């Protein structure tokens, strides 16, 4: 059974597959929202599409760059 995350209270609701894409009511807070299956909640892990891998690599590269720059900046600051 797919699960969806309520945008109001951010809790996971289990919904029928037929309800996906339709308006459902959260069992926790009673808010109505459109059921969209979230990949992380699903039992079957979604594989990352190739169209996203480039963006991921750029993001990871930026993080590595920043992480590598911090010790260098600290060393520079110390040497002064
Ligand atoms: Zn809710």
Helices (H) and strands (E) in the chain, counts: 1, 4
**Is 18 among the domain residues?**
yes
CA of 47 to the centre of ligand 1 (A): 27
pLDDT in tens, 24-71: 999 999 999 999 876 554 455 556 555 667 888 899 999 999 999 999
Rounded Cα distance, 16 and 24, in Å: 10
- Using the mean position of ligand 1's atoms as its centre, give its distance from the Cα of residue 65 in Å: 39
Looking at residue 54, its pLDDT comes to 82
One domain for residues 79 and 59 = yes
Over residues 7-31, the mean pLDDT reads 94
> Is pLDDT at 9 greater than 90 in this prediction?
yes
Number of domains into which the chain is organized = 2
Q: Which helix (H) or strand (E) holds 3?
A: strand 3-5
DSSP at 37: B
47 within domain boundaries = no
Statement to judge: residues 56 and 34 lie in one domain: no
What is the CA(17)–ligand 1 centre distance, in A? 19
Q: Are residues 12 and 36 in the same domain?
A: yes
Q: Is 3 contained in some domain?
A: yes
Q: Which tops the pLDDT comparison, 79 or 19?
A: 19
* Residue numbers of the domain that contains 68: 52-80
User: How high is the pLDDT of residue 53?
Assistant: 74
Q: Ligand 1 centroid to 5 CA: how many Å?
A: 8
18 Cα–ligand 1 center, Å: 19
Q: What pLDDT, on a 0 to 100 scale, did the predictor assign at position 8?
A: 95
29 and 59 part of one domain: no
Q: Ligand 1: distance of its center to the CA of 52 in Å?
A: 29
Q: Is 44 left (phi over 0), alpha (psi -120 to 50) or beta?
A: beta
Structural domain includes residue 59: yes
């Amino acid at each position: 059974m797919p699960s969806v995350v309520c945008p109001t209270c951010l809790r996971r609701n289990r919904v029928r597959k037929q309800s996906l894409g339709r308006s459902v009511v959260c069992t926790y807070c009673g808010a109505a929202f459109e059921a969209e299956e979230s990949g992380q909640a699903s039992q079957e892990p979604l594989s990352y599409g190739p169209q996203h891998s480039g963006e991921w690599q750029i993001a990871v590269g930026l993080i590595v760059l920043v992480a590598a720059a911090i010790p260098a900046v600290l060393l520079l600051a110390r040497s002064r």
